A and B are shown apart, each in its own frame.
Chain A
Amino acid sequence: MTQQTNKLKLSAILARHETVLLLVILLEIFIFQSSGRNFLASSNVSNIFRHSVEIGLLALVMTPVILTGGIDLSVGSMMGLCAVVFGILVKQYEMSPWLAAMLAISLGALGGMGNAFLITKMNLPPLIVTLGTFSLFRGLAEALTKGSEAYSGFPAGFLTIGNGNFLGLPVQLWIFFAVAILMWLLVHQTTWGRSLRAIGYASEGARYAGISVRFNTGMAYVIAGAIAGLAAVILVARLGEARANVGIGYELLAITAVVLGGTSIFGGAGSISGTLLGYIAVAILNNGLSRITAHQIFDQPIASVSRELSGILTGLLLLVALAAGVILKSLALRRARRQSLNVKPTTT
């Protein structure tokens, strides 16, 4: 009985967290529209997503990983490695970019499998394993290019993935939609998705309940690796250049979006829709700030401080959202306890 009311309360909080995020997003839109130039122009709305879709993709696949109570720090480095391998395949081996893209995604999946093996078979902590592969993948990418070589001059047809439009929206946004729907289905509509929460909540318990903890956890890392490969291909198409240092720091931005979206870093609770909102909030913040120059604030021509501000505000947004989450949770728990105390005398 109390278990059930608790559960109801929790889902109510989750809904409220998402409501708060939505309000934050609307507030951002309002502020940037009134202070920045052409913020809501369709070309800029396209830019918001064009410039951040890779982080959005990483956030989507980071969600199941974090649901299991794990973390994947290697996805940004994986992007660097996949980008470089893609560049080499197309430019040195004259492979079709589409085939090379498939191979880059497979390479990502393979790297994810490596993470999965170390984490689930060797029982090493995900933080340590992916910290290791974080260095390893980036190091491989740098070694393959001797640190400085870059590949460019890809066919125009391939570059449309990064720079073209389809039905009025950036091509890569459609890819993102497809992955978002897929991840939503996987996380919220399948037994795999449910098992991730169980694993994150209590992995021993999940094992006793007959869930294949190793396989299900491992899958989350494999998917993360594959989508990191996809994100690398999209980023290369956008830049028109493949080099070893693409995707630096993206893993942390993705984790920010996931946690901002209300997914518990300890695992067990979270949602794809929350991650989407968290990602949109971060993406809008970064784009909007880059459009406000300091003279609009201080009314004098000094250097724009916006890019520096974006780090500060992203950090504050995350911390405030987390603190608000904790406060709301404790308030709700207190109310639930009070209610259960009130309920008891009447039922017995």
Chain B
Amino acid sequence: MKRIPWILTCAAALLITGCNSKSTGGNANGKLTIGLLPKSKGNQYFVTCEKGARLAAADLGAELLFDGPTNTDPAKQNEIVENWISLGVDVIAAACENKDGISTALKKAQDAGIKVVTYDADAQTDARSFFVNQATAQGIGEQLMDTAAELTGGEGEFAIITATLTAANTNEWIKYIQERQAAKYPNMKLVEIKPSDDQKDKAQQETTNLISAYPNLKAVIAVCSPAVPGAAEAVKQAGKAGTIKVLGLGLPSENKAYVKEGVTQAVILWKVEDLGYLTVQVAAAAAQGKIQAGATEFDAGKLGKFEIKGDNVLLGKPFVFTKENIDQFDF
């Protein structure tokens, strides 16, 4: 029985202090406060995003909070957003791990008068005002085809290594690769599309088969990230480095060795640092009412102007990483 007073004292102390003090709202120094939420905090991709975001925050004189889950607990992103709400941030920019789960918290932020934008991975469309879209399917597909044509002189046979034949996103990219080829590069011919099940080994094996089946093969396009080093390894082992060009969509860091050896000619991805920079610029503009629904162009300071399509701010054409520039990037 004598233990009850302790519970009561404790609960009372917390509740009384809690109810007596009021939220002071915003922050003392009057700076714009931006909360940048990554899918996960330790991931090199998001660390690179943060780097760009810090630059933008410095350019804008804004305060940037960068926090994200360090484990796989799906409740963590929501908790961070809810803490930011009570912290009184002005705007939240989120890369969403669980689209529906995080939207609950983002809508709460909107109800509290906080502007919300998303980047990298979108939320439900009514839970944010703008999505900073790092790459459209069309942009990716066309860039892959253009680079392949550039590397082969616009002539000859090429093959595609994909994730699975049913994956929606890779199929969409392949569709744009084919359309671009038909429209601009009539002397090139797609001989086969092979699945790699998102595995490097399988990609290597399929590429080896392709090399023996098509002696005139000029290029291999890998449209999922494990397939790029996989295809490169196969070409290298076949002794065809340089004869058969390898290019694909992947992280520069995973392909650096092959690029430097001259096996892989081009890795295609967006500049992740720029994604962070643009996201913070869009977030700040949203908070200050400088970007409105219906706008078609956005001025992101030192990065220049970006196109807005609907409520998507487009980062633009993907970036091509080559032997010459790959050392400048560490993600």
Contacts and interface: CB of A to CB of B under 8 A. Distances in A.
Interface of A: 15, 18-19, 22, 25-26, 29, 37-38, 40-47, 50-51, 150, 152-153, 159, 163, 168-169, 188, 235, 238-241, 243, 245-246, 248-249, 271, 273, 276-277, 280, 287, 290-291, 293, 301, 303-304, 306-308
Nearest to A51: B79
Contacts of B17: 29, 40, 45
Interface stretch (B50-58, B131-139, B185-193, B207-215): B50-58
Contact of B101 (A240, A271, A308): A240
Contacts of A238: 75, 78, 104
A163 B108 contact: yes
Contacts of A46: 18, 86
Contact of B98 (A38, A41, A150): A150
A249 B72 CA distance: 10
Contacts of B75: 51, 235, 238-239, 246
14 contacts: A15-B2, A37-B88, A43-B85, A46-B86, A150-B100, A239-B78, A243-B74, A248-B72, A249-B71, A273-B6, A301-B54, A301-B64, A304-B67, A307-B67
Nearest to B22: A41
B70 interface: yes
Contacts, number: 139
A236 B128 CA distance: 22
Contact of A239 (B6, B71, B104): B104
The binding surface of chain B is classed by DSSP as helix
Interface string B76-115: 0011101101111000000000101101100010000000
Nearest to A40: B21
Given A41-B23, A42-B23, A152-B101, A246 B10 contact: no
B183 interface: no
A290 B6 contact: no
Contacts of A245: 72-74
Nearest to A80: B74
A74 B67 CA distance: 29
Contacts of B79: 47, 51, 290
B74 A246 contact: yes
Interface string B107-129: 01000000000000000000000
Given A301-B58, A303-B50, A293 B101 contact: no
B19 A42 contact: yes
B33 to A, nearest CB: 9
Interface in B28-83: 41, 50, 54, 57-58, 63-67, 70-75, 78-80, 82-83
Contacts of B328: none
Given A235-B75, A239-B104, A273-B3, A41 B57 contact: no
A129 B75 CA distance: 27
Nearest to B100: A152
Contacts of B63: 301
A37 B67 contact: no
Given A41-B21, A50-B82, 4 more contacts: A40-B21, A51-B79, A238-B78, A243-B98
Given A18-B6, A42-B21, A273-B6, A241 B87 contact: no
Contact of B88 (A38, A163, A235, A248): A38
A235 B17 CA distance: 26
A37 B87 contact: yes
A153 B100 contact: yes
Contact of A47 (B67, B70, B83, B103): B83
Contacts of B13: 26
Contact of B82 (A29, A51, A308): A51
A22 B18 contact: no
Nearest to B67: A304
Contact of A44 (B83, B100, B108): B83
A51 B65 CA distance: 20
B7 interface: yes
B9 interface: yes
Given A18-B3, A38-B88, A43-B23, A291 B83 contact: yes
